[in-house]
Amino acid sequence: MITRLLSLVLFLAVAPAAAAQIDDIAAKMQAGEYKGITGMMVSRDGEILAEAYAPGNSPDKRHDIRSATKSITALLVGELIEDGSLKSVKVKLSKILPDDFKHMPKDDPRRDITVEDALTMRTGLACNDWIPASVGQEDKMYKTRDWGAFLWALPMAYERGEHFSYCTGGVVYLGRVIEKLAGKPVPDYAEECLFGPMGIEGAKWEKTPTGHTDTGGHLRLTLPDLHRIGALVRNGGEGLVDPKWLKEATSEKTHVYERNERYGYLWWLNSGIVKEQPISLVYAHGNGGNFIFYVPELNLVAAFTGKNYGDRSQFIPMQLLTREIIPSLIEAD
């Protein structure tokens, strides 16, 4: 335990050449050489290969993981289905929280938006966080008092279920769904069915102005917490999350326009060839450089924290993983 607090742990559980490569990355992380990337934890086959913290960081420090929160929200929706509170992802949001839709005509297409549409970013609403001019862009939502009311004042821009459009507002609204169906606040439900059993302590959720939980971002967790969640995915839910739900959540549901990524239920997916070997990534991504990666072909889990908000340097962890860590492990195999 003391060695962990020294910011670097390395086990030679892989071939020496790969271990040396990962050790070098960890040493640079410890020295603060990766701008704004504050920590890294990597394991393979359940064995820790490296754990490193940039200066001023430690295993106990909680980080604002931004949109990586969304992937955890997807796990909580799966818990609702497993305990029977939610019958299907095909259930309409208007059936769960009808009062929020009272202002709409009975034939309004927004009434048909489902839980699955919010999970896959295909609500059809005029909401795109990647385009500042979008009327539903998240920064506009944050300036309002009632984020739910903001969401349901938006017009439709696409056919429901047809077009990927990254919309934090829809995921925040899933927090209200969880709260309603679980019969308790989201933090309490997460503690009961996920965080508590996993040994994740002191998770800090942010609230919306109306007192609901922000399930679209800003959850604060430690680097080891993020790695635990990656290990949960690797281990098929560890008896906490239904393996069938986990498979659904991390399977392609839609293609992301003009990008290589695909999207599951609030989990990112990507794939390619590294050293002539097909490699796929399942990951959570939060602005700043906050990532949880699972690489099925290598049985590899990697978690990173960072503070490069709104900057391309937030993708340094992706580059370290795909250009250095994965190639070194493939060469060593």
Per-residue DSSP letters for 26-60?
HHHHHTT-STTEEEEEEEETTEEEEEEE-TT--TT
pLDDT at 14: 65
By CB atoms closer than 10 A (0-12, 13-18, 19+), residue 302 is buried
pTM score over 0.85: yes
- Each residue of 167-197: pLDDT tens digit? 999 999 999 999 999 999 999 999 999 999 9
- Each residue of 305-330: pLDDT tens digit? 999 999 999 999 999 999 999 999 99
Tokens of 230: 């990656």
Which of 178, 83, 168 has its CA nearest to residue 125?
A: 168
Q: Is 6's pLDDT higher than 60? A: no
pLDDT at 238: 94
Tokens of 24: 């070098």
- Each residue of 96-154: pLDDT tens digit? 999 999 999 999 999 999 999 999 999 999 999 999 999 999 999 999 999 999 999 99
Q: Is 240's pLDDT higher than 80? A: yes
